[in-house]
Amino acid sequence: MSSAPESPKSQVKPWPRLRRGLEHDFTVVKVREDAMADPRTHMEHRRVRMDCADWVNVIAVTKQDELVMVRQFRCGIDAATLEAPGGVIDPGEDPATAAARELEEETGYRAGRLEALGVVHPNPAFQSNRCHTYLALDCERVSDGDPDDGEDIAVELHPRADLPRLILEGHITHSLVVVAFFLERLRAEAKR
Confidence (pLDDT) at 156? 97
Residue of 149, 175, 157 whose CA lies nearest to 76: 175
User: What is the SS3 assignment for 54?
Assistant: coil
Residue ranges of E strands in the chain = 17-19, 24-25, 30-37, 44-51, 55-62, 66-74, 79-83, 86-88, 109-110, 113-120, 131-141, 153-159
pLDDT tens per residue across span 9-62: 578 899 999 999 999 999 889 999 999 999 999 999 999 999 999 999 999 999
Checking if the pLDDT of 4 tops 60, the result is: no
Residue 3 pLDDT class (50, 70, 90 cuts): low
For the question of whether the overall pTM of this predicted structure is more than 0.85, the answer is: yes
Confidence (pLDDT) at 80? 94
Structural domains of the chain, ranges and CATH numbers in brackets: 13-51 (no CATH), 55-191 (3.90.79.10)
CA distances from 30 to 78, 93, 128, 153 (A): 22, 20, 10, 25
Per-residue pLDDT, averaged over 68-94, amounts to: 95
Query: Rounded to a whole number, what is the distance in angstroms from the first to the last CA of the chain?
Result: 16
Average pLDDT, the chain: 93
Checking if the pLDDT of 8 tops 80, the result is: no
Residue 6 pLDDT class (50, 70, 90 cuts): low
CA distances from 133 to 1, 75, 96, 99, 110 (A): 23, 23, 9, 8, 16
55 and 70 Cβ atoms separated by less than 8 Å: no
Confidence (pLDDT) at 84? 98
- Beta strands 24-25 and 79-83, pairing class: unpaired
Kindly report the length of the chain.
192
Amino acid of residue 149: D
Percentage above 90 pLDDT, the chain: 86
